[in-house]
Amino acid sequence: MRIHIIGGGITGLFLAYRELKKGNQVTLYEESTRLGGIISTKQVPEGIVETAANGFLCTDALKALCSDIGIQLIPANSHSRRRYFWRDKKVKRVPLTFFEILRLFYGIFFKKLKIKSTGNFWEWSKDQFGFFASKFIIEPAIGGIYGSRLFQLDPKVVFPYWDFNGNTTVLQNLKLKKSKSLGTHSFCLGMGSFIDSMGQYLQNHIEIQYETKVKSMEELHSRTLDGDIYLAIPVQKVINFLDKDMTKNFNIDMISLTSITRFSKERITKKPCFGILFPEGEGINALGVLSNSDIFPNRVDKSINRNNETSSETWIYQNYKNPVGSEESWKEIIERDRKIVNPKSTDPLAIYITTWNAPFPVYNSELESLNQFLDGLEQKSNSTHQKIRFFGNYRRNLGIRSIFESTLI
Each residue's pLDDT tens digit, 87-98: 999 999 999 999
Q: Give the containing element (helix H, strand E) for 87.
A: strand 83-87
Amino acid (1-letter code) at residue 354: T
- DSSP assignment of 18-40 equals HHHHTT-EEEEE-SSSSSBTT--
Amino acid (1-letter code) at residue 241: F
| Rounded distance between C-alpha atoms, residue 251 and residue 370, angstroms | 9
Mean pLDDT rounded to a whole number for the chain: 91
| Rounded distance between C-alpha atoms, residue 179 and residue 405, angstroms | 9
Q: What is the pLDDT of residue 322?
A: 40
Please say whether the dihedral angle defined by the alpha carbons of residues 193, 195, 201 and 204, taken in this order, is positive or negative: negative
| pLDDT band at residue 398 under the 50/70/90 scheme | confident
74 burial (CB, 10 Å; 0-12 / 13-18 / 19+) is middle
Q: Give residue-wise pLDDT tens across range 273-285.
A: 999 999 999 999 9
Residue 46 · residue 300 · CB < 8 Å = yes
Closest CA to 179 of 401, 403, 343: 401
Give CA separation, 161 vs 17, 164, 175, in Å: 26, 9, 12
Amino acid (1-letter code) at residue 162: W
Q: Give residue-wise pLDDT tens across range 301-314.
A: 877 655 567 899 99
Q: Give residue-wise pLDDT tens across range 357-374.
A: 888 899 999 999 999 999
Average pLDDT over residues 105-115: 95
- List strand residue ranges (DSSP E) for 99-213, in order: 112-114, 165-169, 184-187, 207-209
